[in-house]
Every structure is written in C-alpha cells, then in structure tokens.
Amino acid sequence: MPAGAGAAVDGGPVAAVDCGTNRSRLLVADRSGHQLERSMTITRLGQGVDSTHRLDPRAVDRTVAVLRGYRATMDGHGVVAVRMTATSAARDASNRALFLDAAREAVGVGAELLSGEQEAALSFAGATAELDVAGSPWLVADIGGGSTELACGPAGTDGPGRLLPAASRSLDIGCVRVTERFLHHDPPTPAEVAAARRYVAELVASVTAELPELAQARSFVGLAGTVSSAAHLDLRLARYDRSAVHHHLLGAQVVEALLAELAAVPVADRRARAGMEPGRADVIVGGLIVLDGLLRHFGMAECLVSESDILDGMVMGLLRA
C-alpha cells in the first residue's frame, strides 16, 4: 500500500483521487509533475442526496467499484503517496460513513471530507498554476454535480507554492442538484428552466453582496464537466482532446445558445450529439444554467476553459510536501 497524504514522498509517482457528486477522478503524476494517468468516470455518487440527504447504497457501490479500479491503476504505476478527497455529496449525506469506510478499504487511504472553501482553494491552485498573473485577478468557477465553488485572486501563495484565493465560497448549485431540484420533465418545461435560472441568479447575487471581491475579477476561468462538455460541443469534437479543450475560450453567447438548444430537446437527442459525453446528457442543462448565470451576473464575455483543477492542486501539494 502507498503512503498516505501526510507521509513524505520519496521518489516515486503520486496520485490524487477526487470523489465528486457526479464524477470520480484520478490523476497520477511523476516527481516532475508530468501526468502519467488521468481518468474520469461518471459514478453519480450524489444521486438523490439533495432530497434525501442520504447516499444511495447503489451509488456507493458504483463509486467504490471505480475506486478499486483506480487502486489497480495506481499500483501499476508504483504510486508512493495518495491523497483522496470527498466533496459535496458526502458533505450533505447523513450516512457519509457508508461511503468513506468503503472508499478507505478500496484505495488504502482515508478520504478527506473537504469543506467548500478547501475545495475552492484547491481548484483555484490547480486552475491558475499555468496562467500568466498579468491576467489576474481571476474568478475561478468549479461547477460540480452538487456544488459550485467560486474563488477569486490570487492573494499570495501557500507553503507548497500554490496560489491562494483572496475570497472563496461554495454554493449549493451544481449540474445534478439543479437538475434534480428543478428540471423534472424531459425536456424540461420553460417554466422549470426559468425557475432554475432565477434560483441560480438569486444565490449568486447574494454571495456577491457578501463577498464583493468576486466581482473585481478581470477574467473568468471555468472548470469541471459542464464547462468541458460545452467546449466539446462548441469545438464539435468527436472524442476527447485535452489539447483542444484546455484553455479554449468559450463565448458567453455560445453558452447561452447551447443552453437554449439543449433545454429544448429530450435527453436521447442530447446524447446523440457529437461530443456529448453520454453520462452527462441528463444533467448538462442544469450545469449550463449555472454557467450561463455566472457569466451573466459577472458580466463576462467569455470563459477560459481549464482542464487543470482540484486534482492538479492536490498533486502540487503532494509533490512539494
């Protein structure tokens, strides 16, 4: 078994595992930070959590099965240290121990239950590591399944050299949560879409009133599956191409048009679209409502798509520990 997140890293590769509401992901990197493996599987750990505040045992089983596969991948690379995190779905679930115990057994290290602010800081660090500070301050939006983390900055660095946000907040709006709460028909009715958009707009306006620093950003950086999927659709990619998606400029008008188009058709038609990840077709509209609402509220003309995110922030910490 590898060392845990707090152990010294001695020569070999390191790995970060993120157990999100919609996706489970793995990043393996060598000592120079070079990516050896990056994997993503839609596991929908947060299925139904918004209404029940409990993890569905079937969702736990799906996720843990993927984690066992990640464990095998890490063993194949000779990983010497792992950091695993759990986020919105586990934060909200009263029976989170059901998952955390099984995840520890599958991976060999415990999953850290991140607060929204910790999640935002790691996402900010990963997304901004390659950016020119001349373009700051940045507003980084990590649109997940159960929550969206907003972070602006930078405001210096931490010990491992990662950029720190000046302000951050986690909002309970994500592609799965918005879909389950508001979009009950296939396709959703105009009234459902309008209600979801109002909710997102009101929540973002409320947090901006509390943290006016968020509105001072010059650039908007978007992370996670909704943003990546929108870039795929904009670029008309038949398959995933990180080099094309990473740092693609996604226009606000493109996001608005995609939202209108995809909200008007059933899931089966969305799934058939070139570039659409099949497991995301049922929640892409909810995610685009969040992305569109953020771009509108902050008056941003475009979103810089980043494929570097919380996993990269975690690996940076492991390598510099």
Domains of the chain: 14-114 (3.30.420.40), 117-306 (3.30.420.150)
Tell whether the model's pLDDT for residue 45 goes beyond 70: yes
- Alpha-helical (H) ranges within the chain are 49-52, 57-77, 88-92, 96-107, 116-128, 175-182, 190-210, 225-235, 242-245, 252-263, 267-271, 284-297, 310-319
Taking Cα atoms as reference points, which of 246, 250, 239 lies closest to residue 287? 250
186-198: average pLDDT: 97
> Given a cut of 50, is residue 201 above it in pLDDT?
yes
Contact 46, 176 (CB under 8 A): yes
With beta carbons less than 8 A apart as the criterion, state whether 33 and 315 touch. Answer: yes
pTM for the predicted model, two decimal places: 0.89
SS3 257: helix
Any idea of the CA torsion for 223, 227, 229, 231, to the nearest 10 degrees? -110
Q: Give the whole-angstrom CA distance, residue 202 versus residue 192.
A: 16
Q: Is the pLDDT of residue 248 over 90?
A: yes
pLDDT tens across 254-308, in order?
999 999 999 999 999 999 888 888 889 999 999 999 999 999 999 999 999 999 9
More confident call, 87 vs 264: 264
Bond prior to 187 in cis (omega within 30° of 0): yes
What value does the mean pLDDT take over residues 124-152? 91
Residue with tokens 């491992």: 160
For 275, the enclosing helix (H) or strand (E) is: none
Q: Strands 219-223 and 302-306, how do they pair? A: parallel
Q: Report the largest interatomic distance among the alpha carbons of the chain, rounded to a whole angstrom.
A: 56
Type of residue found at 205: A
Alpha-carbon torsion (273, 274, 276, 279), positive or negative:
positive
- Structure tokens given for 57: 């045992």
Asked if the model's pLDDT at residue 238 lies above 90, the reply is no
Residue 50 confidence (pLDDT) = 84
Q: What is the mean pLDDT of residues 23-34?
A: 93
Rg (Cα) of the chain, in Å, rounded? 18
Q: Phi and psi of 17, rounded to 5°? A: -125, 130
